[in-house]
Amino acid sequence: MKINHWLVYALVTTLFWGVWGALIEIPEKNGFPATLGYTVWAFTMLIPASVGLWKLGWKIKFTSRSVVYGGLIGLLGAGGQLILFTSALTEGPAYLIFPIISLSPVITIVMAYFLLKEPLSWTIFGGTALLMFSLWIVYSEELKQGYIKKEPSKKLSTS
């Protein structure tokens, strides 16, 4: 049986991110500032960047289009991480935040279909629907148990 290397890489990434998501609140709960955590995370990105450059023989081929797209992708990824570290994880529990973040593949699937012309099937649509349904189940159970506090609606004062 031939093993698809991309699948192994995706599974290892899932494992790494799952462990990371489970442990991310520990430093902050022990006094490590969230912004410093983000800074440390940013510096650790130098390791995979170095590995990537090494695999390319330390030679980068680029065009103005690749620089624009690469910069946009970098800003979106880093911006998402910044929001995660400085806002989401400081105000909410990781065990609820990460299932919500897991909806990002829905955006990826839709954009891959329209921008990259990748094929979609009913299986992909069904899996996406199950993903969204499972998130709803987790969230609604947390509301029932009282782990999520509903914010009172703020009415404008007329006085």
For the ranges 5-19, 62-76, 138-152, the lowest mean pLDDT is seen at 138-152
Distance CA 137, CA 50 (A): 41
Distance CA 97, CA 17 (A): 13
CB 135 within 8 A of CB 99: yes
pLDDT tens, residue by residue, 56-96 = 888 887 888 888 988 898 888 888 877 887 777 777 777 77
Query: Could you tell me how far CA 58 lies from the centroid of its own chain?
Result: 28
Q: Given this model, what pLDDT does residue 72 score?
A: 92
Q: Which of 101, 99, 106 is nearest to 134 (CA)?
A: 99
Residue appearing with tokens 């510096």: 43
Is the pTM of the predicted complex or chain greater than 0.75? no
Report which DSSP code applies to 85: I
pLDDT tens, residue by residue, 98-141 = 777 877 878 888 888 888 888 888 888 888 788 778 777 777 77
